[in-house]
Amino acid sequence: MYGAILGDIIGEPYEFDGGDKTKDFPLFDDCPMFTDDTVMTVAVCDAVMKAGLDADESEMKSAIIQSMHRWGQKYPDAGYGGSFYQWLTSKSTEPYGSYGNGSAMRVSSIGWFFDTMERTREVARWSAEVTHNHPEGIKGAEATASVIWLARTGSTKEQIKEFVAKEFGYDLSRTIDEIRPDYCHDESCQRTVPEAISAFLEGESFEDVVRTAVSLGGDTDTLADIAAAMAEAYYDIPEELIFKCGYYTTKDMFSVFRRFDKLRIGRVDKHNLLRFKKAQESDFKNAVKELMAGCKRSHWMWYVFPQLKGLGLSDMSNFYGISGIAEAQAYLDDGLLGSRYKKLARLLLGLESDNAEEIFGQIDAIKLKSSMTLFDAVDPDNMLFNAVLNKFFNGERDRKTLELLKQ
Q: Which residues bind Mg ion (CB under 5 A)?
A: 35-37, 221
Work out how close the CB of 220 gets to Mg ion at its nearest, in angstroms, rounded to a whole number. Answer: 9
Work out how close the CB of 216 gets to Mg ion at its nearest, in angstroms, rounded to a whole number. Answer: 15
Reduced to 3 states (helix: H, G, I; strand: E, B; else coil), residue 322 is strand
Reduced to 3 states (helix: H, G, I; strand: E, B; else coil), residue 89 is helix
Question: Which residue's CB comes closest to Mg ion?
Answer: 35
Work out how close the CB of 214 gets to Mg ion at its nearest, in angstroms, rounded to a whole number. Answer: 13
How far apart, in whole angstroms, are the C-alpha atoms of residue 384 and residue 375? 10
Nearest residue (CB) to Mg ion, 46 versus 221: 221
**CB-based contacts of 284: which residues, under 8 Å, 6+ apart?**
300, 304, 340
Contact 4, 37 (CB under 8 A): yes
- 3-state helix vs strand vs coil in the chain, percent to 5: 65, 0, 35
The identity of residue 287, as a single letter, is A
Work out how close the CB of 38 gets to Mg ion at its nearest, in angstroms, rounded to a whole number. Answer: 8
Nearest residue (CB) to Mg ion, 101 versus 280: 101
How far apart, in whole angstroms, are the C-alpha atoms of residue 371 and residue 397? 10
Closest CA to 97 of 87, 107, 106: 87
Work out how close the CB of 100 gets to Mg ion at its nearest, in angstroms, rounded to a whole number. Answer: 11
Contact 112, 137 (CB under 8 A): no
- How many Cα atoms occupy the beta-carbon half-sphere of 134 within 13 Å? 16
Work out how close the CB of 105 gets to Mg ion at its nearest, in angstroms, rounded to a whole number. Answer: 7
Work out how close the CB of 35 gets to Mg ion at its nearest, in angstroms, rounded to a whole number. Answer: 3
- How many Cα atoms occupy the beta-carbon half-sphere of 125 within 13 Å? 10
Largest CA distance in the chain: 74
Nearest residue (CB) to Mg ion, 195 versus 221: 221
Nearest residue (CB) to Mg ion, 232 versus 379: 232
Q: In 236-247, which positions are buried (b, 16+ CB within 10 angstroms) versus exposed (e)?
A: bbbeebbebbee
Nearest residue (CB) to Mg ion, 31 versus 313: 31
How far apart, in whole angstroms, are the C-alpha atoms of residue 214 and residue 128? 24
Nearest residue (CB) to Mg ion, 36 versus 236: 36
Nearest residue (CB) to Mg ion, 72 versus 335: 72
Work out how close the CB of 249 gets to Mg ion at its nearest, in angstroms, rounded to a whole number. Answer: 14
Nearest residue (CB) to Mg ion, 36 versus 398: 36
Q: How far is CA 349 from the centre of its chain?
A: 28
